[in-house]
Amino acid sequence: MKAKEHSEELKRGREEAIMLQQKYSGQNPWDYYEQELNKISQLNQTQSSLSEQIRILRIFANKLGLYDVADFLKNIIKYG
C-alpha cells in the first residue's frame, strides 16, 4: 500500500471511530467492540511476518479509536 493511500485509510478510520464514539458515548466501549468483533468470523492463522502483523494490528487499533495503542505499535514498527 502506498503511503498516501495508507494515510487516507487511517484518516477515514479515525473519522469513523470518532463518529462511533459519539454515537455510543456513555456506554461501556467494550460492549460495542464486543458486538462488532462478534460479527467477524474467526480467521485462519496468518503466515505473515511479525512486523506485518503489527502493522495490520496498528490499522485496526486506529480504526477502533485506540490511538494510544496505535502510537505504541507505530513506535514498535519504527524502532523495533
Q: Please write the tens of the pLDDT for every residue from 9-48.
A: 767 777 777 777 667 666 666 777 888 888 989 989 999 9
Determine the Cα–Cα distance for residues 60 and 13; give it in Å rounded to an integer.
8
Residue boundaries of the structural domains of the chain: 3-79
Confidence of residue 55 (pLDDT cuts 50, 70, 90): very high
pTM for the structure as a whole: 0.58
Instruction: Give Cβ neighbours of residue 61 (< 8 Å, ≥ 6 apart).
Output: 67, 69, 70, 73
What are φ and ψ of residue 48, in 5° steps? Answer: -65, 155
Would you tell me how many other CB atoms lie within 10 Å of the CB of residue 58?
A: 20
Closest CA to 56 of 40, 42, 76: 76
Give me the count of residues in the chain.
80
